[in-house]
Amino acid sequence: MDIEAIKKEVYKAREVFEKHCNHISKTFFGDFPSASCGPSADLIAEYLLSKGVQNIEYVYGERNGGSHGWLEIEGHIIDITGDQFEEGIEGVFISSNRDFHNQFSPQTRNDKPGVNGILRDPYNKFKALMETHA
């Protein structure tokens, strides 16, 4: 899957979360996009992996007592929750520009992102919505 196809899926994912956050999981996404960065990144990573996307990393950093997580794919930052910050970025951010994300430091990288047991049910709901969302 090339970056344009990935972008299409990521924009669709943001729409699905906006419209169905409580259905997917009120616990993890009830205040979407606030406090939803890690779980939403995990669900998107799992979905993209199921579509054959490789080299996905989950990146996590801290700033001023808070934290933020996002995905990176071959130098492209994929972030659908950066707009939760007052001085944040747009709702869907797909770019190699690191200015905003470099504020979160130190950064921890996980090259095996995806869904663990607690997110399996929300992922199944998310995946079904992604596959039926036009």
pLDDT digits over 104-134, tens only? 999 999 999 989 889 999 999 999 999 998 6
Residue with tokens 């169905």: 20
pLDDT number for residue 3:
92
CB 24 within 8 A of CB 17: yes
* Structure tokens that stand for 102 in this block: 């470099």
Q: Is the pLDDT of residue 23 over 90?
A: yes
β partners of residue 80 = none
Domain spans of the chain, in order of start: 3-132
Percent of the chain residues past pLDDT 70, beyond the cut: 99
Residue 134's pLDDT is: 64
Single pTM value for the model: 0.94
* pLDDT for the residue 105: 94
Residue 62 three-state SS? strand
